Structures are given as C-alpha cells and as structure tokens.
C-alpha cells in the first residue's frame, strides 16, 4: 500500500473517530439547546439539592451536561387559559368553577384567565413549585387558587346581583384578589372574565327567563301605551287648532262684513246686466231684487 493511501486512511479513521466521540459526548457529556425570544431558561444541577440563583438564568444558545444538568424553559409572554365545562374548549375534562351565592343558589361558570410570568422571578418560581411545565402549574395551583377566591367572593352576592348589575364588580374583585396572591411569586394577572353566561340550576334558569320575558313584555306594553297617548294628544291638538281657526273665522264675519259682501255681489250683477229684465231673480230672505229701471210707456 502506498504511503499516500495509508495517510488518507489514517485521516479518515481519525475523522470518523472524532465524529463518533462527539456524538457520544453530545448524548452523554455535552448537549445544547436554544432559548428563543419570549422565553427564559434556567439551568438546574441535578446532583446538588439547592435553589436556583439569578446566575442560573440562561438565554440564547445553552450548552450543558445532560447527566448533571437540565434546562427548564418558561414562556415570558402573556399566557391564556380557559376553564370550561365543554371538552371542545380548554382541557378535555370538565374544568368549570362553581360557587353558592348569598341566597344559596348553586352557580357554575366558565372562565378565561390571562397572566404574565416575570422573567426576573423565574428562579424563585421554579424553586417554589418545581414545575417543569407551566401548564401543570396553571391547571393546578392557579386554578385551585382562582376557585377558592370565586367561592369566597361569590358567597357575598345574591344571584340577582351577580347575574345582573354587580357582575362586573364580582369579576373585578376575583381578578384583584387572584393578582394579589400571585404577584409575590412572579405572576401578574392580566385578565379574568366569564366565557358565556352564569349557569344556575335549570328550574331557576327557567324562572329567570320567564321574569326577563315579563319585564320585556311590560316595557313593550308601556311603550305602546305611550305611543297611543302621544297619537291621541296629537289628534286633540289638531282638532283644537281647527276649532280655534273656525271660531276665529266665524267671529270675523260680522253683519257689516256680510252686508258689504252682498253689495259687492249686487255690483257684480249690475256690471254684467245686458238691459233685459231677469226671468228669475232670487236671493236670501225671499229673493234678492235688483232696482232695474222700467222704460216709459211700460208702467
């Protein structure tokens, strides 16, 4: 075998050995991951039971020994979760929240919550909860806390209040209390609200619907009465106006005006007379006679 061939074989063998060694190191001694924007990672030493310090927060390309270390990644953009009865939204299980009102009405609700994880407090968050997956914390600790607050706050309202004018107040109080409890651990509640309407027992729901319909019917009837009254007032006003006009016209037609009008009519007849005696002369009060001169010799 020629020296050049032997040299090439040695180089190839060395390269293959390096590749195999690197692959082995990657799987057993050295590994890496990428922390994308909007996420924060923490490097955890599996062999030492200690808390996570701010120096353990990592971003970008991260190299670590998978035997000794693990990197946990948390999202630091707004997270939204829904807890509903429906399997088509949120989790597959029934995650609705329930509470009893002050007047002992059992109510169930579907809710949506949005929150933001503070990247600066991620190490303390992990140390406290040991949660490798943020969704497990969301559907565990956060949901339990929200449910307890809903139960305590909802018991201070009657059903009519929480289903009516004080609904927003109720939800605002729940959101504020939930935020007060989660901020110390690095979680800020952005929103907390209902998905759909409150669900009372069926018999109460039917009663509420009937009450709502009765109120709507009453409002519609009142509007119809007001419309009819307005139309009647309009007709009365028109009739009164016409009557007043007629009275004003009648009062203006006194005897002198009527006499003057008769004279005007007589003048019009005279102006149109052709010199012949009318065959018929009539008028008011037995006839209106015109003083027509009679020629001499015909008397």
Structure confidence by residue, pLDDT tens digits, 142-165: 999 999 999 999 999 999 899 989
Which pTM value belongs to this model?
0.59
Each residue's pLDDT tens digit, 81-110? 999 998 777 777 889 999 999 998 999 999
> What's the mean per-residue pLDDT of the chain?
79
Instruction: Specify the higher pLDDT residue, 16 or 134.
Output: 134
| Contacts of 44 by beta carbon, 8 Å cutoff, 6+ apart | 52, 56, 69, 70, 71, 72, 126
H or E stretch at 233: helix 202-252
Determine the 3-state secondary structure of 234 from DSSP.
helix
C-alpha count within 13 angstroms, C-beta hemisphere, residue 121: 13
Instruction: Specify the higher pLDDT residue, 192 or 251.
Output: 192
Instruction: Specify the higher pLDDT residue, 237 or 206.
Output: 237
Q: Which two tokens stand for residue 105?
A: 């009405």
Each residue's pLDDT tens digit, 174-184? 999 999 999 99
Q: What are the CA-CA distances from residue 126 to residues 23, 132, 219 (Å)? A: 31, 8, 58
**What average pLDDT score do residues 235-248 get?**
75
H or E stretch at 31: strand 31-35
Whether the per-residue pLDDT at 192 is higher than 90: the answer is: yes
Contact 115, 188 (CB under 8 A): yes
Instruction: Specify the higher pLDDT residue, 222 or 82.
Output: 82
pLDDT of amino acid 298:
47
**Strand 39-45 relative to strand 57-58: parallel, antiparallel, unpaired?**
antiparallel
Whether the per-residue pLDDT at 141 is higher than 90: the answer is: yes
pLDDT of amino acid 130:
83
């Amino acid at each position: 075998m020629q020296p050049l061939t032997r040299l090439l074989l040695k180089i190839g063998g060395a390269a293959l050995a390096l590749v195999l060694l690197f692959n082995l190191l990657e799987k057993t001694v050295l590994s890496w991951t990428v922390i994308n924007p909007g996420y924060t990672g923490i490097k955890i030493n599996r062999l030492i039971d200690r808390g996570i310090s701010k120096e353990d927060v990592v971003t970008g390309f991260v190299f670590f020994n998978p035997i000794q270390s693990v990197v946990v990644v948390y999202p630091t953009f707004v997270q939204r979760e829904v807890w509903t009865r429906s399997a088509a939204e949120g989790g597959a299980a029934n995650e609705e929240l329930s509470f009893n009102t002050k007047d002992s009405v059992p109510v169930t609700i579907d809710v949506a919550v949005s929150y933001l994880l503070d990247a600066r407090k991620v190490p303390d968050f992990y140390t406290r909860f040991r949660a490798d997956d943020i969704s497990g914390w969301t559907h565990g600790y956060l949901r339990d806390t929200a449910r307890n607050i809903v139960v305590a706050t909802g018991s201070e309202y009657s059903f009519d209040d929480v289903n009516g004018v004080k609904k927003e107040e109720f939800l605002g109080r729940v959101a504020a209390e939930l935020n007060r409890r989660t901020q110390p651990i690095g979680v800020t509640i952005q929103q907390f609200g209902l998905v759909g309407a409150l669900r009372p027992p069926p018999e109460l729901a039917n009663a509420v619907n009937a009450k709502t319909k009765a109120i709507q019917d009453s409002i519609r009837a009142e509007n119809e009465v007001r419309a009819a009254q307005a139309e009647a007032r309009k007709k009365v006003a028109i009739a009164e106006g016409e009557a007043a006009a007629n009275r004003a016209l009648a009062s203006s037609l006194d005897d002198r005006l009527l006499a003057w009008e008769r004279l005007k009519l007589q003048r019009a007849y005279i102006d149109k007379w052709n010199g012949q005696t009318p065959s018929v002369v009539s008028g008011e009060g037995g006839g209106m006679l015109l003083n027509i001169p009679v020629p001499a010799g015909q008397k």
